[in-house]
Amino acid sequence: MPGFIRYQLISYIRSFKIIPPAASFLIWVFILYSYSGVEILSSYAVTSIAIYIVMTWVSMSIFSIEEEAEKNILFVHLSKKNYLWGKWIICILISIIFILFAIFYPILMNSFKEAMTTNHFGLSIFIHLLLAIFGIFVGSLSSISSFVPKKYTWLFAVFVIVLTISYEGIVEKLSLLKWLFIIFPPVVNVINFFEPDSLDQFGKEFWTVSAFAIMYAIIGFIVLTKLFLKEES
């Protein structure tokens, strides 16, 4: 597994596929913090959404590194499950780099209008990591599921991202769709707690929503694993 992860990382970097999402993310962060005196939590909410989008992009490109023949050779040397998990580990490693930059860049540049606290720091790690995981989930679902034709995988990923980010506006106009959205990552449900720049709203309701989001991620990746093994059987 370590050899496979190292091989995949080198292949991904050499393919230059990481440059567009990484450049887009850096530009997003630089523009956001081009002025000082910004809010802490709401700014981190914005960069976590950026990571959600970028990690969807990254995970889809990681799943497209090898051709079908090369993938079958890797299946021989690895189990299919290890192949899939190896891909996800690579995505997590890349997301950690983005997360560290998103969290520490504004601190080093003194961009916030108030001092960071331990609570701010913990919440920033949580929201960035959670949305990175959601991005990996959406990208993986788009890449490995046969019900999405290959030529429409990017369109499907964009469709899911738009739906999950614009959830509130859609439900407000079409309330009947509220329960349909339970199949999509609860991005906005968690992000909403970060929009008022205050720690007061992080109570029982926040942790209930967060627990649901974590459970969604766990179940989602279990389903993806079973789906991948079925598709490749």
Nearest-angstrom CA–CA distance, 219 and 158: 22
Phi, psi of 160 (to 5 degrees): -65, -45
Taking residues 163-174, report their average pLDDT: 77
- What does the pLDDT read at residue 35? 87
Supply the pLDDT for residue 77: 80
Using an 8 Å Cβ cutoff, are 128 and 51 in contact? yes
- What does the buried/exposed string (b/e) look like for 190-221 if buried means 16 or more CB atoms within 10 Å of the residue's CB? bbebbeebeeeebeeebeeebeebeebbeebb
Q: Could you read off the pLDDT of 12-35 as tens digits, one per residue?
A: 888 888 999 999 999 999 999 998
Paired strand residues for 112: 38
What mean pLDDT comes out for the span 188-201? 80
Q: What are 50-89's pLDDT values in tens digits?
A: 999 999 999 999 988 877 777 777 777 888 888 899 999 9
- Residue whose structure tokens are 């899939």: 84
Residue-level pLDDT at 177: 66
Mean pLDDT of 167-171: 72
pLDDT score at 166: 86
Please give the average per-residue pLDDT across 205-226, as a whole number.
94
The pLDDT, as a whole number, for residue 29 is: 96
pLDDT for 176 beyond 80 = no
Predicted local confidence at residue 11, as pLDDT: 83
- Give the per-residue pLDDT at 174: 67
Residue 90: give the domain boundaries: 2-231
| Identity of the highest mean pLDDT range in 1-5, 68-72, 134-138 | 134-138
- Total domains in the fold of the chain: 1
